[in-house]
Amino acid sequence: MAEQECIFCRIGRGEVPAEFLYRDDSVFAIHDINPKAPVHLLVIPFSHLSALTADPQPTLETLGRLVAVAAQLAQEHGVDADGYRLTINQGPDASQTLPHLHLHLLAGRRLSDLG
């Protein structure tokens, strides 16, 4: 999928309306439109990275920023004390449906084991 057609890129550019829960120069956060938990947020880099295997240094910096913002959002949503799950789905076998690296923050109830 080309960056011009990517829904996350379009949201980041303001072409598709969304409620931004967080936004800085490198990442933004929105609610998942198909939540799997009472709190289900997406933390998304503005830069279009399709995979974790992209250029290692920018990916490392991006991952650090995604996790830091997710921790901040967990506090702001009051789920940091009871716990939350951070997930990155990578590839079709992991149920990645959009080829733009992003992090899921899931919380608000006891989550099942992934086992």
Burial (0-12, 13-18, 19+ Cβ within 10 Å), 84 = buried
Q: How far is the C-alpha of 105 from the C-alpha of 84, rounded, in Å?
A: 7
User: Which of these is catalytic: 31, 77, 100, 102?
Assistant: 102
Residue whose C-alpha is closest to residue 90's, from 49, 56, 35: 49
Q: Is 77 a catalytic site residue?
A: no
The residues annotated as belonging to the active site are 102
